[in-house]
Amino acid sequence: MKNIFIACDTTNIQQIKKIINKSKIKLKGYKIGFKFGLEFFYSKNGRKFILNLKEKNLWLDIKIFDIPNTSYSAIKSIKDLKNISYITVHVSGGLEMLKAVKKAVKKYNKKLKILGVTVLTSFSNSSIKKIGHIKSIKSLVLKQSKLAKEAKLDGIVCSAKDIKFIKRICKNMEIVTPGIRLQGDNLHDQKRVMSPKEAFKSGATSIVMGRSLIKGNFKNNIQKLIKSLN
């Protein structure tokens, strides 16, 4: 069963409720999930709302990136969120940080799956050079994938365009791809994008879709998604 995560990128709880209610559809071979990032988690009552959600397949996308001890404590601080299935960490935090997060998950929530974020899909080769990287995105993602594997993470988050480079490394891991757009959609701040069908065909186990679904008529956008998958 492959996942389609809807990115709930808003601070409006009523809008989130509408998205969840309208997403109760059956897609053969696919399971709908909901991703909550920093925008919603940090908003007033955001954490409380997530805590009380009865839906399954929830993803807390807070991209932990700090020293090992603080990262360990971050997992401890959300030990009450037992309904969360996935959490993200930046692989760039290093092996010791990843191991600290893994250790905390084993102690506080064994069912929680850790996804290692590689190079964000908003980056291009030129933009990563501006922050000091001398290697290409391909080289960075390959190295980060190996690090995530060594840390025994459950999966990685990468552009669908990177899957062909890391499939062999991550063959027993989940591969989650953001930056998914329907045909004709505005790319906004994304640089490395792909369609839902192309991403799954490339080897993604899950995709993430935000603005392509929640902006405008949600029902019509869902129908476009279904059509694009068939």
What is the residue-wise DSSP string for 13-75?
Answer: HHHHHHHHHHT---BTTEEEEEEEEHHHHTSTTHHHHHHT---SSEEEEEEE-S-HHHHHHHH
Average pLDDT over residues 24-53: 92
pLDDT of the residue at 62? 96
pLDDT digits (tens, 9 = 90+) for 50-60: 999 999 899 99
Question: pTM, whole model, 2 decimals?
Answer: 0.91
Range with the poorest average pLDDT among 33-37, 92-96, 119-123: 119-123
Assigned fold of 2-229: TIM Barrel (3.20.20)
- List residues with catalytic annotation: 63
